[in-house]
Amino acid sequence: MSDIASLHRSLVERVLEGEGRASHEIRRAAFDNVGLAEPVRGFVEKVAHGARTVTDADIDTLRNASLSEDQIYEIVVCAAIGQATRQYQNALAALSSATGGD
């Protein structure tokens, strides 16, 4: 059966710990959606919980805060993977609970 566990671990490790233009700290904070200052905080919250509401103006706000396009790209990727990971892990825990796993 398909198993993405090791691929998931590698993906998360790569975007958080691999070479990038944004700091490891801001990538981790975007992934976790905690501990960010404005305007990144509100933007990451949108990526996590309302991605379709993101606008050109949101991106311009980040550019005006001196973030490069590559830094914005990395923050978006980390935020998206972080929220999807929380959803995934929540559901795996529910599956484990329902099937009597640990």
Partner 1 sequence: MRLTILDDGHGIRAKAMFVLIRVFSGHPVVDAVKLALYRPSFYRAGGLTQEAMRGPSEWSVADRELMAAYVSKMNETEFCIAAHTATSALAYNDGAKVSAALADLETAPLTEPLRATLRLLGKLTRENNVDAEDVRNVLAAGASAQQIKDALAVAFAFNVTDRLADVFNFATDDPAAINAGAKYLLTRGYR
26 binds partner 1 (CB under 8 A): no
40 binds partner 1 (CB under 8 A): no
The two tokens of residue 12 are 């998360």
CA distance 74 to 26: 9
CA distance 17 to 62: 22
* Cα angle, residue 78 at apex, residues 72 and 84 outer, rounded to 5°: 135
25 binds partner 1 (CB under 8 A): no
Pick the binder of partner 1 from 56, 64, 66, 102 (CB under 8 A): 56
Residue among 66, 75, 61, 62 at smallest CA distance from 22: 75
Sign, CA torsion 100/89/91/7? negative
CA distance 67 to 14: 21
Nearer to partner 1 by Cβ, of 38 and 56: the residue is 56
15 binds partner 1 (CB under 8 A): yes
Shortest gap between Cβ of 37 and partner 1 (angstroms)?
A: 20
Shortest gap between Cβ of 56 and partner 1 (angstroms)?
A: 6
Binding site for partner 1 (CB under 8 A): 1-4, 7-8, 11, 14-15, 18-20, 47-49, 51-52, 54, 56, 59, 69-70, 72-74, 76-77, 79-81, 83-88, 90-92, 94-95, 97-99
